Structure 1
C-alpha cells in the first residue's frame, strides 16, 4: 500500500481541518482499498465524506478556492483504485448522505449516498413496485444514476423523473430524466462535471408480498450465478451489441484464467474477481488479456464497465 506523507501545512491537511470543522467525516492518508469493492488501491492524502448537501457544497467551495486537486466517488462498487494511490483529495458520497422520503403515495426522493438495497427495502415497506430489479445491485443511488444501472429487464432510467446535482460552478440544479440522457451504462454525468445529490423516482403501488417475492427471486438468481463471495466490481465489461461479454470470454476458454491474485470467475466469466491478494495491476493486466483474446478470437471489442479512479 502506498502511503503519501503529508506535511502538517499542506493543502490536504487544510482541507482535512476544514472538513472536520464543518461536520464532515474525514481521514488523512486513507487507503482506497477500504473504499472499493475490489479491495485494491493505495492511499489518498485525504478522504472527505460530507453528511449533507450543504457540507458537500462547502467542501467543494474550499477545494476550488484553494485549487486543491480532487476527485469524487460513490460507494466504490464499480471502481478500480490503482496501487499507487492518488495524489489528490477524494470526496466520497457515502451513506453519510443517506435520506429517503415519500413525496406522495408513489413518489420517492432519495439522496445520492443511499445504498440501493436500502432504497429497495424502503420501496417494499411502502408497497411500491418497479425497483425490484435493483435489489442486490451494490452501490448507491447516485452511482446507479451515474451508470444507469440495470438488471433483469429494468434500468434506473425507467423509474427516475428528476435529478438534482451540483454544477461545476457550485449551483444546485434540477433536470429531467430526459435531460440526463440515460442509456445503457451511460449518462451525461460521465462528462459534464456535475455531482449528483438526489433523485426523484415515480413508482407504482402493488401488493407487498408480490414485490417481496420478486425481489427475493432476483437476489436468489444473483447469488446462484454471480461470484458474490469474492471482491469484484460486478460485471467487468459492458455488453457488446448482439453478444454477452461473459459468453464471449467463456467461449475463449478464459474461465478460471488468472494473473496474480486476479481471476476470471469460474462461476461467471463476465466477472473478474480478487481471488486473494490481487493488485490493481493484476486486475488491469487480466482485463487487457481478456480484451485482446476476445478480439483475436471473435472479432468483438470489449469495453470495460469498471471505471479507473483517477
Structure 2
C-alpha cells in the first residue's frame, strides 16, 4: 500500500462524482475470482472524455496505471495493485444499435450486448452470450467460445493512450489473434467498441444463445468464483482434457481447487488467496508437463504484487 497523493485525489474529485473514486479499494470485491489485495486508487470513468482526462492526470503525476474491464479474466495478487486501476464497468456501458452495427461502451457486459443484438435481429455475436466479461475486456483478450471470437465481429475501437490522447482503430489495425490484441502491448484503454453483424432471424438467434447457455451451465463451474478458463489452449490439445487425464480434478491448495466439474477451471472454494491459486497453477503445469510433455500457459492475467 502506498501513501495517497492528496493533490492527485483532489484533482480527480474536481470533475468526478464521489462514487467514481475509491481509495485503498479491496480488489476481491471487483473481480470475479473474489481474490486480491487493495488497489491504491480505483477509478471508474463515465465517458471517453473522462477517461482521457483521468489518464492525462495519472500520467502527469507519474502514477502507475492498470486498465481493467469487468475483472473476469484476472487474478489480483495478495498485496494488491500499486497506483491507479481504471475500471470500465457500468458507468460506461451504454449500447446502441445503428442498422447492422452495435456501438457499445467498454464497460458493457457481453451478455447485455448479445441480448441487444438478438433483440435487433442481428446475428454473429451469439457465441459471446455467456462469457462473463465486458466488451472492452473481450476485445483486449480477443475472447471466444463455440467457434466464434471477437475478431470476427469487431469493426472499430475507440481508445485512449496512457498520455490521454484519443485514438480510433479499424479492425485491421487491432492485431487480433488467439487471446491477443494490440492493446496488450500499447497500454491504451479501450473505451468504445463498434461491432459489425448481419441480419438474422430473432427466433433462431435466441435458440442458438439458449443452446450455448445450457451447454455452458452444464459443463462449467459457474456457481463458484473463478477467472474463467485458467489456461490457454495448447496447440493440438485442450487444457481441460490434459488436466483431467493427469488425474488432477479436485486437486486443492488452500482454498483454490481444480474444478471437479471442468478441469480447465481453477475455482475459489471460498477462502482462496492468490498465493494458493499460483501454487496450484504451478503444480498443474508441472504435472501435465511430466505426464504429457505439454506446457500449459495461463490465460488469466496476473496483476499486482505478491505478499
Q: TM-score, normalised by structure 1?
A: 0.94
Distance 1:147 1:172 in 2: 21
Distance 2:231 2:285 in 1: 9
Distance 2:2 2:64 in 1: 16
How is 1:276-287 mapped onto 2 (pairs within 5 angstroms)? 276-287=270-281
**Does structure 1 residue 191 correspond to structure 2 residue 185?**
yes
Aligned 8 A contact 1:16 1:27 in 2: no
* Residue in structure 2 matching 1:134, options 128, 132, 139: 128
* Cα shift readout 1:57-106 (whole Å, capped 9, x = no counterpart): 11111111111222111111000011111221211111211111223x20
**Does structure 1 residue 155 correspond to structure 2 residue 155?**
no
* Residue in structure 2 matching 1:202, options 196, 211, 228: 196
Distance 1:38 1:222 in 2: 18
**Does structure 1 residue 263 correspond to structure 2 residue 289?**
no
* Residue in structure 1 matching 2:115, options 118, 121, 124: 121
What corresponds to 1:90 in structure 2? 85
Q: CA deviation at 1:5?
A: 6.9
Distance 1:271 1:136 in 2: 15
What corresponds to 2:73 in structure 1? 78
Q: CA deviation at 1:44?
A: 1.4
Q: Does the C-alpha gap of structure 1 residues 185 and 292 become closer, same or farther in structure 2, counting only changes over 3 Å?
A: same
Q: TM-score, normalised by structure 2?
A: 0.95
Aligned 8 A contact 1:46 1:88 in 2: yes
Point out which structure has higher relative CO (alpha carbons under 8 A, 6+ apart). Answer: 2
Distance 1:46 1:69 in 2: 10
* Residue in structure 2 matching 1:16, options 9, 17, 30: 9
Aligned 8 A contact 1:16 1:48 in 2: no
Provide structure 1 residue ranges, at least 5 long, that are not aligned to the other structure. none
How is 1:1-310 mapped onto 2 (pairs within 5 angstroms)? 4=1, 6=3, 10-11=4-5, 13-24=6-17, 25-103=20-98, 105-310=99-304
Aligned 8 A contact 2:258 2:266 in 1: yes
Distance 1:61 1:188 in 2: 21
